[in-house]
Each structure stands twice: as C-alpha cells, then as structure tokens.
C-alpha cells in the first residue's frame, strides 16, 4: 500500500501531472486526428528540436489507455471545468465519506497502471519477435512502437553508447519512420560537424512535415522553457528530496520523482504545461514543508540512491527501503546529464549540438565515466547507500557495478546490486538485498 | 623479424597459443609495442603495423570458466565472446597460460558494439597494472553509425587521430614509403584470404588458415602454400552452406559441427572470414608518393561508406545484409545460410527474426543458430544443424 493517497488530495500539482500523463491519450488522438498535428516519438528528454519544428514529442506509452477508471475521467473533466483548487477540495471532502478509499485506490495505482502497461509492452515485444535476451527498456520501447507506432509521424533516434539501443531503433523502423542523429561519443571538430549536419537534416525533415522552419528564435524559446523545467526538477531533487524535511511521506516523494522523470521523456507534449506543473509542485512542496501538519522530519532517515533506472525498475523497491527506515532518491536524468542546460545565446543549432554531445558524454562513454557520475552524485549529496539496478539482458549501461562497488567502498559507502528483469518479478530477492543493505547503514 | 611460417594450419588451439607466445615474445624482444583489439572490419590493422607496433587481434572463443570470469568483472549478460576475452586475461593473470597477454602494451576501444568499449576498459581496469612496468594504454577509436558524407569525414578524422596516437606511443615517425609498403603488403595478404573460398578447401581448414593469418599477419605467415592444403571431398559433403553473422573465433568448433553434420561451409561471411574484404585498401587508388597517408585514409573512408551491410551501421543494415547474402548465394550456388549468433550479441542477435524473414523473402533458407561457449549445448547444436542440413 502506498502512502501517496493521504498526501495527494492536497497536492494539486501531482494530481495535474498524473492526469496529464494518464489521460493524455484522448488529447493526443485529438491532436493527431482532428488538428492534424505532427507527433514525433521520443524516448529520452532532448525534445527541443521537435517542439521548435512545430511538432509534438510523444513518449509512445502515453498513447495507451491506462485502464478505465471512471474516477480518472471525472477527475479530468473536473480539472478542466472546475479548476484544480475545487477538485482538491472535492477530493478532500469525498474521501471522508469513502470507506473504500477510492481516491487512495486510484492514486495508489497510478504507478502500478504505468507499470502494468510497461509489462504489457514487454510481452508484446517478445510476441513481435524481438530477442528474449534484450533488456526491459528495449523490449518496452519496441512494444510501445509495435502497438502505437503507426500513430506517430516518426521517431527521433539519436545514438548513445549502447549498440543494442541503436539496433532496436533500426528494428523499429517497420512501425514508424526513424529520424537519425548520430552523436559522437567524444567531442571532436569533425564529430561536431557531423552532428550539426544531422540536426540540419532533421530540421528539414520536420519542416516538410509541419511546414514550419526551425529558427534560431524558435529553438531558443523552447530551450529557455526546457532549461527552466530542468531547473525546477533539480530544485525538487536537491532542495526537497535531499533535504531534511519532506512535504509528504518519503514513498510519496519517491513516486513524485519517478513521475517527474517519466514526464521528461516527452515534456507531456507540452513543455509550458510541464513547467507550470513543476513550478507549482516545487512551490507546494516548499509551502508544505513550512506547515507543521504536513512537514515530515526525514533527517534521521538514510538516503538511498537507486540507479540506473531508465531502462526499467521496480517501484516496489522504494517501499522496501521505506519499510527499513530509509528514503529513496531517484535522480537518473541528473546523473546521466539530461538536466544539463542548453546555452541560449548565439547559434542555437550549434548550442543544441553541444548539448547533445554533452549529454552523451555525461551518460558515460565507458563504465569508468558512468560510475564516476554516480559516485560524484552520492558523495556531493551525502547519500548513505546505493542500490545498483542491473538489468537482465543489458550489455551496456548496467555493467558497471563491479567498478562502482570498488569506488563506493573507497568512500565507505555501502551498496548492493539487484537484478531486474520485469516489473513484479524477483521481488523477494530484491527485498532480501535491500534488507541486508539497510542493516549495514 | 620472425621467420616466415609456411604452416598454414594448426593442429589444435594449444599449439596455436604456444606459437603465439613465442611470436609475441620475439616481437617484444625487438622492442615493439603490442596493441590488442577486438576485431572488426572497420579497424584497419595496417595502421597499427605502420606505426611500428604489433597488432594482436583478440579473436579467441572461450569456455564456461572464461565466460564466468568475464561475467564477474562486468555483467553475465555481456556477450559470450567479450566475457571470454576477459576470462583469458584473468587466467593469464592467475596461471600464465596465455603469456602473450601479459605483453600487451595498449588496447584499442571502439564503438563497433558496446563490448568493444567495455572490454578494453575492463582489461585496463582489472589487468592494466598486473606485473607490468607501465599501465596498458587505451586508444579510443570511435566511428559514426551512419554513412553520410560528414560521417565519413568524422571516420577519417578518427583514423588519422588513431594513427597519430599510435605513432606517439611507439615513438616512431611517419615514413611514407614504409607506410605504403605496409599497406600494399596487407592488401595482397587480405585479398588472398578473401579469395580463399575459391580454393576447394574444407570450411574447417579455410577457417584455420584465416584465424592463424589474422593472428600473426603477413610478416609471419606465407600464404603461398595455400595450394598445398588438402582439397575437400565434395562426394562426402555436398550440402553447401554459407556461414554468416557472428565470427567463429579461435577454439569455436561451429564449422566442424556443420561439416560433421553433413554441411559444407563454402563461404564464411564473418569478421573471421570474407568480411575482411571491407578492410582491404584499394591500392589502385594510391598514386605516387605524396600524401600517401591521406590517400589511404580516403580509401578507408570509401570502404566505410560502401559497407552498409556491416552490422555496425544503421539504419538499413537488415536490408543490406540480406541482399549481400543473396548475392553470395548466387555466387556460390546455395540458398542455405547459417546465421551464427553469439549469446547476447547486440549486432546480429537483436534483429534475428527480421533478418530471417527478409532472407526468406529472397528465397534464402536461414538457420539462426545461437550459442555460447559452454559444452552443455553441443548436443542441441548438433541436432539443430543436422536437422537443417537434412532439410536442404
């Protein structure tokens, strides 16, 4: 049982984020079918080119139907007609009379609904013939595109260090057109020129679809917004999640962090809206921290980082950590460089190329660099322990634990490694490992 | 300089390693640096030798122990070949069975696939200081994935940088004439290997010749004696098969299994086979003695541009790969393809079903044969191969 429901009824920003995420399907369908908007699939946060070109980034799973809870529909309707403050009042009021805790049930299941869809995509990918040896992330993305890729006008594929990822994108072309951008692993003169050339091509491809050219101004404008989104997310991580007082229970905050990360995969197809939500969320959190009825003292609770998670992870892990008195920190996008700011003066194409090269570089060209990023985050933020999430089938990004463990040991920071294959699997082993880790702290 | 060796075949892998130990020790005694790398068609071995170093391709298959040892250092899901290479280093560190590995001075990490980045790094991290005066040096050589004009320029920049770094490491300077001689020598050598399939030699023997030739190079191996290698008996085995996909590394008995199962491997379309063709520098395009290095790098750039069937390249590898197989099938007269997939290989493994479907569309009969280096699966592999051959 999540602790989320108790807090959620007075958190309109989280309600907004959840509904925008879970109920976007209808909006995306309307954009596509009635308004003839151009929808471009994205998996990682760099989406600025897509917005600047007049198209809309879509993390493909958001085209799915997340169950049929009538309450979600009512909530969505209420949010649009009554305004969020009234909805929150309504929910607070309704909950007093609801012995079945329907609000708690719905909110408690937001993450599980997402997880269920992810698992469905995983199964679908296997049915579609992807090798069973692939990692969860690859199967999930493949499944998403197999299921709804036809609704997209294409997908933005940019290269990272994982060769399986590149091959997955290649295989996905049977579901939707791929727009390819080759990002060099190291910054070199010719590498930068190559990347710029790919970005210009991508820009031209988008213009053919939308009729709107990408200008220095359009790219600058969206970059200013996404930079601000990153800034607020960083504030939530550093000022709230890593602080001594929480505005809610620790597991709820962990769920906040994970939802924020998912939202960054396409900025909810509306970067201004995401910025509004993040600003609101940050301000609400700050307000609650200052109110004794909401503030939770977590200063004695050890901070545990779970990473890498973007290829798939089990949200049950933060409940295990909480049950042993700890609090979970999620900060993948920061660790792998996705929250780096885009420079907004000068030539924006060049700035964007530099940003992409920076993210790929901070992703960690090799395990040494990748584990250094984790270590630096841990040391700089006084994190007490690390859970390394090793994906079954991962040949690239989660191969660094032996190296990370050595580095953490030198800093006397305990760690453990958990194996992840699919959401809901292997939980007993995860629990045992988390328990052993928490005993060490 | 080592003596030229006319023995093209080797009796067993142990003999080959003993010979390699001796060869590398000799090279080291001459003061040369040994540069190890995971082999693929876009890393020109010629540049290593032209820089005055000894190229050492890590083209060894493993076994259960080596795979486990490698898995402990990275992750058990890394491909069996890559894990095995780490296992060799670990065994060398512990028991000294592969002494030549303790003589490695540098490794080249490339992004052909992720393992090509992670294995060199893990070698350095875990064995880089082991009994050595100096830590093993890492040379990064990162390639583009696409083959557009600007990507070729990037590839050429990387080649140039690699060569400069190697020269700096060996302390040698660029000598245009020696450089040209090395290129010409390798071109001739590789072309002979590429044409090997035209000789009526069994697939097993062809593979042994190629493995040994790649391991030792043209300074040590004399390919003139190919004519002396016994011919295959077509009456005994007449089910022609093309081997493609992942490479049959030294110690992998996959070709033996195929030929024992009644198949006849007439063409080997792997890195340890005819994909060498894409690393051959067209010496007809190298004229005079001015700007030789630039001409060679341009020729290598052309190779990269023209090899869309490489498993490294995107976005249409599947299509090019299958079309390439079709052309080969027309050339050698068989529709049967065994697509070898080393367990957890991204490059060949990820798209196996699409490749098989597209191959079928062109009338090719493809067996996707996945394996690691454990003995347990031998019986199952044998059965699958025999069933496939019987269907032909």
pLDDT of A319 strictly over 80? yes
Which residues 122-151 of chain A have a CB within 8 Å of chain B?
A: 129-131, 133-135, 138
Q: With a CB-CB cutoff of 8 Å, which residues 375-394 of chain A face chain B?
A: 390-394
Please tell me what DSSP assigns to residue B3.
Answer: P
Q: Please determine, for residue B58, whether its predicted confidence score (pLDDT) is greater than 90.
A: yes
Q: What is the DSSP string of B182-233?
A: HHHHHHHHHHHHHGGGGS---HHHHHHHHHHHHHH-TTTB-GGGGGGSPPP-
**Partner-chain contact A131 B352, CB within 8 Å:** yes
pLDDT beyond 50 at A101: no
Q: Does B148 touch chain A (CB under 8 A)?
A: yes
Please calculate the CA angle B81-B243-B192 and round it to the nearest 5 degrees. Answer: 95
* Summary mean pLDDT of chain A: 89
Residues of A in contact with B346 (CB under 8 A): 162-164, 167, 395
**pLDDT exceeds 90 at position A368:** yes
Is A92's pLDDT higher than 80? no
Considering only the beta carbons, identify the residue of B111, B347, B352 that sits closest to A185.
B111
Contacts of B299 (CB under 8 A, 6+ apart): B281, B282, B285, B286
pLDDT confidence of residue A1: 37
Task: Give, as one character, the DSSP assignment of residue A26.
Answer: H
Cβ within 8 Å of B, A 146-205: 157, 159, 161-164, 166-171, 173-174, 178, 180, 182, 184-186, 188-191, 193-194, 197-198
pLDDT band at B256 (very low <50, low <70, confident <90, very high): very high
The pLDDT assigned to B350 comes to: 87
The pLDDT value given to residue A103: 39
Residues A88-116: what's their mean pLDDT?
59
Q: Radius of gyration over alpha carbons of chain B, in Å?
A: 20
pLDDT > 70 in chain B, percent: 96
Of A50, A345, A49, give the one whose Cα is nearest residue A196. Answer: A49
Angle of CA points A228, A234, A236, to nearest 5°: 105
Residues 34 through 73 of chain B touching chain A, CB cutoff 8 Å: 72-73
Which pLDDT band, with edges at 50, 70 and 90, does A91 fall under? low
Confidence of residue B10 (pLDDT cuts 50, 70, 90): confident
In the prediction, which pLDDT does B356 show?
96
The pLDDT assigned to B231 comes to 84
The per-residue pLDDT for B9 is 83
Mutate to test the interface with A, among B150, B159, B310, B321 (most CBs of A within 10 A): B150
pLDDT band at A255 (very low <50, low <70, confident <90, very high): confident
Residues of A in contact with B318 (CB under 8 A): 170-171
- Residue A74 is predicted with a pLDDT of 60
- Give the tens place of pLDDT for each residue, A171-218: 999 999 999 999 999 999 999 999 999 999 999 999 999 999 999 999
Q: In chain B, what's the furthest Cα-to-Cα distance?
A: 58
CB nearest B121 (choices: A188, A367, A395) = A367
Question: How far is the alpha carbon of B314 from chain A, nearest alpha carbon, in Å?
Answer: 7
CA distance A261 to chain B (A): 25
Rg of chain A over all Cα atoms, to the nearest angstrom: 21
Residues in chain B with CB shorter than 8 Å from the CB of A353 are: none
Q: Searching chain A, which residue's CA lies closest to the CA of residue B80?
A: A395
Cβ–Cβ below 8 Å for B354 and A198: no
Banded model confidence at residue B228, pLDDT cuts 50, 70, 90: confident
Residue with the bigger pLDDT between A194 and A293: it is A194
Rounded (5°) CA angle B240-B243-B245: 155
Interval B124-179: pLDDT, tens: 999 988 667 789 999 999 999 999 999 999 999 999 999 999 999 999 999 999 99
| pLDDT range class, residue A89, cuts 50, 70, 90 | low
The reply to whether B234 touches chain A by the CB within 8 Å rule is no
Paired residues of B342 in beta bridges? B371
Q: What is the DSSP letter of A237?
A: I
Which of A160, A201, A200, A202 shows the shortest CA–CA distance to A183? A160
Closest CA to B83 of B36, B129, B118: B118
Within an 8 Å CB–CB cutoff, is residue B117 touching chain A? yes
- Compute the average pLDDT of residues B335-358: 93
Confidence of residue A97 (pLDDT cuts 50, 70, 90): very low
Please give the pLDDT value at position A80: 64
- Burial class for B166, CB neighbours closer than 10 Å (0-12, 13-18, 19+): buried
Q: Which residues of A touch B81 (CB under 8 A)?
A: none
Question: Which of A368-377, B123-132, B169-178, B338-347 has the weakest average pLDDT?
Answer: B123-132
- Looking at every residue in chain B, the average pLDDT score rounds to 93
Spatial distance between the Cα atoms of B92 and B84, rounded to a whole number of angstroms: 12
Q: What is the per-residue pLDDT for A13?
A: 77
The answer on pLDDT for A96 being more than 60 is no
Q: Which residues pair with B137 in a beta bridge?
A: B106
Question: Residue A164's closest chain B neighbor by CA?
Answer: B346
What confidence score (pLDDT) does residue A148 get? 95
Distance CA(B317)–CA(B301), nearest Å, equals: 18
Nearest of A206, A176, A171, A153 to residue A28 by alpha carbon: A153
DSSP bridge partners of B366: B337
Q: Are strands A296-297 and A245-246 parallel, antiparallel or unpaired?
A: antiparallel
Residue B335's φ and ψ, nearest 5 degrees, are: -100, 0
Residue B249: is its pLDDT beyond 90?
Answer: yes
Least confident of A402-411, B36-45, B93-102, B203-212: B93-102
Q: Which of B69, B73, B77 is the best residue to mutate to test the A interface, defined by the most A CB atoms within 10 Å of its own CB?
A: B77
Nearest residue, CB atoms, B74 vs list A135, A164, A402: A402
Question: Is the minimum CB–CB distance between A317 and chain B shorter than 8 Å?
Answer: no
pLDDT at B332 over 50: yes
Q: What is the pLDDT of residue A4?
A: 45
| Chain A interface, best mutation among B345, B346, B351, B368, by max A CB count within 10 A | B346
pLDDT at A72 over 80: no
Residues in chain A: 441
pLDDT attached to residue B236: 60
Concatenating the DSSP letter of every residue in B247-300 gives: ---BT--HHHHHHHTTEEEEEEESTTTGGGGGG---GGG--SSSSHHHHHHHHH
State the pLDDT at residue A326: 97
Cβ distance of B315 and A171 shorter than 8 Å: no
Test mutation, B157, B158, B350, chain A, max A CBs within 10 A: B350
Q: How far apart are CA A20 and CA B14, in angstroms?
A: 64
User: Given pLDDT bands bounded at 50, 70 and 90, which one contains residue A114?
Assistant: confident
- Tokens describing residue A217: 């101004």
Query: Quick one: pLDDT at residue B61?
Result: 96
User: What ipTM was predicted for this assembly?
Assistant: 0.94
- HSE on the CB side for A382, CA within 13 Å? 9
């Amino acid at each position: 049982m999540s602790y989320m429901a108790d807090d959620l009824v007075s958190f309109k920003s989280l309600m907004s984020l959840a509904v925008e995420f879970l109920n976007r399907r209808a909006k995306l369908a309307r954009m596509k079918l009635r308004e003839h908007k151009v929808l471009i699939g994205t998996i990682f946060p760099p989406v600025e080119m897509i917005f600047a070109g007049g198209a809309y980034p879509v993390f493909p799973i958001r085209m799915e139907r997340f169950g049929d809870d009538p309450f979600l529909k009512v909530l969505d309707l209420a949010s649009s007609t009554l305004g969020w403050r009234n909805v929150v009042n309504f929910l607070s009021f309704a909950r007093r009379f609801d012995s079945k805790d329907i609000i708690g049930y719905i909110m408690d299941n937001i993450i599980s609904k997402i997880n269920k869809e992810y698992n469905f995509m995983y199964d679908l990918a296997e049915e579609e013939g992807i090798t069973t040896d692939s990692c969860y992330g690859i199967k999930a993305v493949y499944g998403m595109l197999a299921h709804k890729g036809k609704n997209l006008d294409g997908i933005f594929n940019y290269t990272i260090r994982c060769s399986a990822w590149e091959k997955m994108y290649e295989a996905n072309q049977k579901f939707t057109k791929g727009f390819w951008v080759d990002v060099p692993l190291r910054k070199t003169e010719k590498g930068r020129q190559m990347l710029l050339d790919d970005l210009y091509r991508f820009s031209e491809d988008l213009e053919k679809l939308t009729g709107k050219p990408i200008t220095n101004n359009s790219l600058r404008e969206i970059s200013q917004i996404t930079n601000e989104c990153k800034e607020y997310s960083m504030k939530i991580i550093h000022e709230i999640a890593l602080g001594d007082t929480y505005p809610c229970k620790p597991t709820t905050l962990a769920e906040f962090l994970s939802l924020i990360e998912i939202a960054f995969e396409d900025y909810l197809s509306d970067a201004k809206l995401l910025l509004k939500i993040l600003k609101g969320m940050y301000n609400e959190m700050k307000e609650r921290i200052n109110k004794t009825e909401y503030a939770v003292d977590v200063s004695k609770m050890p901070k545990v980082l779970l990473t890498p998670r973007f290829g798939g992870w089990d949200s049950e892990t933060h409940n295990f950590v909480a049950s042993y008195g700890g609090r979970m920190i999620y900060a993948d996008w920061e660790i792998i460089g996705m929250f780096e700011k885009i420079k907004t003066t000068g030539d924006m194409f060049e700035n964007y190329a530099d940003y992409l090269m920076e993210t790929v570089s901070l992703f960690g060209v090799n395990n040494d660099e990748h584990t250094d990023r984790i270590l630096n985050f841990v040391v700089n933020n006084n994190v007490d322990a690390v859970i390394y999430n090793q994906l079954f089938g991962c040949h690239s990004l989660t191969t660094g634990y032996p190296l990370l463990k050595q580095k953490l040991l030198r800093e006397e920071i305990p760690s453990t490694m958990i194996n992840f294959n699919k959401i809901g699997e292997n939980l007993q082993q995860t629990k045992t490992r988390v328990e052993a880790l928490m005993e060490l702290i | 300089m080592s003596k030229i060796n006319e023995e093209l075949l080797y009796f067993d892998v142990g003999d080959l390693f003993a010979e390699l130990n001796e060869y590398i020790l000799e090279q080291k005694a001459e003061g040369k640096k040994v540069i190890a790398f995971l082999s693929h068609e876009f890393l020109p071995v010629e540049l290593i030798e032209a820089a005055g170093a000894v190229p050492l391709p890590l083209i060894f298959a493993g076994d259960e122990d080596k795979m486990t040892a490698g898995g402990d250092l990275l992750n058990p899901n890394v491909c069996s070949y890559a894990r095995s290479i780490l296992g060799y280093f670990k065994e060398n560190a512990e028991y000294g069975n592969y002494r030549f590995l303790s003589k490695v001075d540098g490794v080249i990490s490339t992004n052909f696939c992720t393992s090509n980045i992670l294995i060199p790094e893990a070698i350095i991290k875990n064995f880089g200081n082991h009994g050595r005066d100096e830590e093993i040096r890492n040379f990064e050589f990162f390639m583009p994935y696409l083959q557009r004009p600007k990507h070729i320029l990037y590839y050429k920049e990387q080649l140039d940088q690699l060569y400069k770094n190697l020269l700096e490491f060996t302390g040698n300077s660029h000598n245009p004439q020696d450089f040209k001689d090395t290129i010409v020598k390798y071109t001739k050598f590789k072309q002979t290997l590429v044409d090997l399939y035209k000789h009526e030699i069994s697939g097993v023997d062809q593979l042994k010749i190629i493995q040994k030739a790649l391991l030792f190079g043209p300074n040590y191996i004399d390919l003139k004696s190919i004519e002396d290698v016994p011919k295959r008996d077509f009456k005994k085995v007449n089910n022609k098969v093309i081997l493609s996909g992942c490479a049959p590394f030294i110690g992998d008995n996959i070709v033996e299994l195929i030929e024992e199962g009644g198949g006849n491997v007439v063409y080997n379309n792997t890195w340890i086979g005819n994909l060498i063709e894409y690393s051959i520098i067209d010496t007809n395009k190298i004229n005079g003695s001015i700007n030789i290095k630039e001409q060679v790098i341009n020729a290598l750039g052309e190779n990269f541009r023209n090899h869309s069937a490489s498993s490294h390249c995107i976005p249409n590898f599947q299509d090019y790969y299958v079309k390439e197989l079709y052309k080969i099938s027309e050339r050698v007269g068989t529709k049967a393809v065994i697509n070898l997939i080393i367990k957890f290989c991204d490059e060949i493994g990820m798209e196996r079903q699409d490749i098989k479907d597209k191959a079928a569309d062109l009338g090719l009969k493809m067996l996707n044969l996945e394996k690691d280096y454990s003995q347990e699966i031998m019986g199952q592999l044998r059965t699958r191969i025999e069933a496939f051959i019987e269907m032909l």
